[in-house]
Amino acid sequence: MASFDVLIRGGLVVDGSGRTGSVNDVAVTDGRVVVIDDLSGAEAAVEIDASGKVVAPGFIDIHTHSDMAHFVDPRAESQIRQGVTTEAIGQCGISLAPCTPHNRAALFAQIGSWEHGHWHTYGELLEAMDDAHIATNVVGMVGHGALRTAVMGPNEPRPATDDEIAEMERMLRQSLEEGAFGFTTGLEYHPGKSATYDELASLCGAVADVDGIYATHSRNRDLRYFVGFGEALDVARDTGVRPQISHINPKYGRPEHALRNTLQMIEWTREEGVDVAMDMMPTNWNHTAATSLLPAWSFRLSNDELLELLGTADGRRRLRDNSLPMWQLAVEERWDRIRLLACSANGNLAGRTIDELTIERNTSSGWDTIFDLLVEEGPGLKGLMLTGEAFAEEDNRLALEHPLCSVESDTMAMANDGPLAGRMMGVLGYNWVAKFLAHYVRDEQVLGLEDGVRRLTGLPSDRLGLADRGYLAEGFAADVVVFDLAAMRDNSSFSNPTVYADGIDHVLVNGAVAFSGGERSSDHSGRVLRRTG
């Protein structure tokens, strides 16, 4: 009689390829899927009854900001409890390496965190994460902002010189050799917004040389969407890099044809032989730091200098004058569609609209409400988060209808207890998978079950270049999720966004049971994955 470590019996096996699922048994031994077949005569140390449930590859979040979270609280509760077994970190140009002794503290300050660890190179960062007892697998990406900070310092909103670009390229090539899968930019944010086309092309050329991936948060996604997305496609044409357009959802203020036109541009670019794809958040709400609404020159200021400027009427007038605003919602002062998401000094106000707070506080405008909140945060003002109702539902559906659109969280691994209790990064941080599968797959049927699973598994795996993840196949790593589609439920709300989703029954990471029957295992079996070849 055959014997295995784990045997998942009688579930609908949906393998991540998009092919029609079939009822079968899945056997796991030594961290690998070893048999997918009728195994009614077999036994195992751990048996899971998946009758009436879906058995799928562990979900791959192709765009997260869990870099620091894996050190602070490696349980990754909000992700594991949604079936996420692999996260691609270092997104939007933000990574924790490479860095230099001189500018290391500034790199951490940019993400609103205290300095941690002792690494400098990307390889040393991955080694530190090896030792962090992580719960999910991690795919590392090199952030453009980290390269700029290491080479140029933290407060330089200007184009890089040729020598600075050459040094950034050297550091990027070294990081790729040390296991990073690719390179990311956040071109709506400081310091990425100051980069020239030639700087991006030089760095993307290094990524293309190793067939890595270039994930870009483009320069604009509303009025100038054509320039923002077009730049990404042109860089790919010129360098041969494989671009992954992050957050393809265009934002409030975009022309109605923006996404249709963007998808057409992508198709034309693919016809030229460029391997371009995209991802999106399954939500209408777009989160960002409040300081991202400020003009680029303000990023030269220290926190103390910024607070001093916020304390004067003239300083506030200057800070409102931004020729490249992050949100048209703020330009048009649609404060009814912007909410306070997270802060330290006024945590009890999270979830309220800026309109409501302006009336309650009797301030002269929504801008002054935001400026007052920043002042009240004091030295931690860069951690003040806002969320805006920026994405149109018709755009979300249109993006999902494209077969090369993965689904991502744009959040970080969190927990509603422990050192990250109360932290939020997007209202769907604890429920993004459930929102996608329950709303877009089950209820709205924008996608069928098999294709919906593919957007969370096989497709992101192929984009990242993972050799043995993203599919349920014999010989592949045993990252597995068992879920009940009928019971899938997004439990989030603005009043309580840190509640876990319903519908996930069992999660295996590298063959070990991480979550089962509502209980977490204390054994963390996540691994740092490294690019090879």
**Could you tell me if 265 and 320 lie in one domain?**
no
**Could you tell me if 329 and 435 lie in one domain?**
no
Asked, for residue 51, whether it belongs to a domain, the answer is no
The span from the CA of 272 to the CA of 142, in Å, is 27
Question: For 456-498, how does the pLDDT look when each residue is reduced to its tens digit (9 = 90+)?
Answer: 999 999 999 999 999 999 999 999 999 999 999 999 998 888 9
**Mean pLDDT, residues 95-117 taken together:** 89
Domain of 440?
Answer: 59-284+391-487
**Could you tell me if 328 and 441 lie in one domain?**
no
Picking from 360, 389, 418, the residue at the C-terminal end of a domain is 389
**Could you tell me if 396 and 383 lie in one domain?**
no
Instruction: Count structural domains, the chain.
Output: 2
Asked, for residue 80, whether it belongs to a domain, the answer is yes
Residue 324, pLDDT above cutoff 80? no
Question: For 401-421, how does the pLDDT look when each residue is reduced to its tens digit (9 = 90+)?
Answer: 999 999 999 999 999 999 998
The span from the CA of 352 to the CA of 339, in Å, is 5
Residue 432: exposure state from Cβ atoms within 10 A (0-12, 13-18, ≥19): buried
* Largest CA-CA distance found in the chain, in angstroms, rounded: 80
Picking from 389, 411, 440, the residue at the C-terminal end of a domain is 389
Asked, for residue 44, whether it belongs to a domain, the answer is no
**Mean pLDDT, residues 194-210 taken together:** 97
pLDDT at 1: 62
**Could you tell me if 348 and 466 lie in one domain?**
no
Residue 513, pLDDT above cutoff 90? yes
Sequence-distant (6+) residues with CB within 8 A of 137 are: 85, 86, 87, 469, 479, 509, 510, 526, 527, 528, 529
**Could you tell me if 367 and 477 lie in one domain?**
no
Strands (E), 247-363: 277-280, 285-289, 338-342
Asked, for residue 495, whether it belongs to a domain, the answer is no
**Could you tell me if 94 and 168 lie in one domain?**
yes
Asked, for residue 504, whether it belongs to a domain, the answer is no
**Could you tell me if 109 and 238 lie in one domain?**
yes
Q: In this structure, how many other beta carbons lie within 10 angstroms of the beta carbon of residue 24? A: 20
Number of C-alpha atoms within 13 angstroms, CB side, residue 435? 22
Binned at pLDDT 50, 70 and 90, residue 323 comes out as confident
**Could you tell me if 81 and 165 lie in one domain?**
yes
Strands (E), 119-172: 137-143
Q: Residue 280 corresponds to which tokens in the numbers above?
A: 């999106």
The span from the CA of 531 to the CA of 360, in Å, is 52
Buried b (16+ CB within 10 A) or exposed e, 323-336: eebbbbbbbeebbe
Dihedral Cα 529, 243, 120, 160, nearest 10 deg: 180
CATH code at position 93: 3.20.20.140
Residue 512, pLDDT above cutoff 70? yes
Question: For 257-281, how does the pLDDT look when each residue is reduced to its tens digit (9 = 90+)?
Answer: 999 999 999 999 999 999 999 999 9
Sequence-distant (6+) residues with CB within 8 A of 225 are: 218, 250, 254, 255, 258, 261, 262
**Could you tell me if 310 and 398 lie in one domain?**
no
pLDDT at 156: 81
The secondary structure of residue 436, as a DSSP letter, is I
**Could you tell me if 237 and 105 lie in one domain?**
yes
More confident residue, 299 or 417: 417
Asked, for residue 481, whether it belongs to a domain, the answer is yes
Sequence-distant (6+) residues with CB within 8 A of 190 are: 145, 157, 292, 296, 299
Binned at pLDDT 50, 70 and 90, residue 28 comes out as very high
Asked, for residue 292, whether it belongs to a domain, the answer is yes
**Could you tell me if 248 and 235 lie in one domain?**
yes
**Mean pLDDT, residues 95-107 taken together:** 93
pLDDT at 412: 95
Question: For 217-249, how does the pLDDT look when each residue is reduced to its tens digit (9 = 90+)?
Answer: 999 999 999 999 999 999 999 999 999 999 999
Asked, for residue 85, whether it belongs to a domain, the answer is yes
Percent of the chain with pLDDT over 90: 88
For the chain, the average pLDDT equals 95
Picking from 368, 389, 410, the residue at the C-terminal end of a domain is 389
Buried b (16+ CB within 10 A) or exposed e, 338-361: bbbbbbeebeeebbebbbbbbeee
**Mean pLDDT, residues 332-359 taken together:** 94
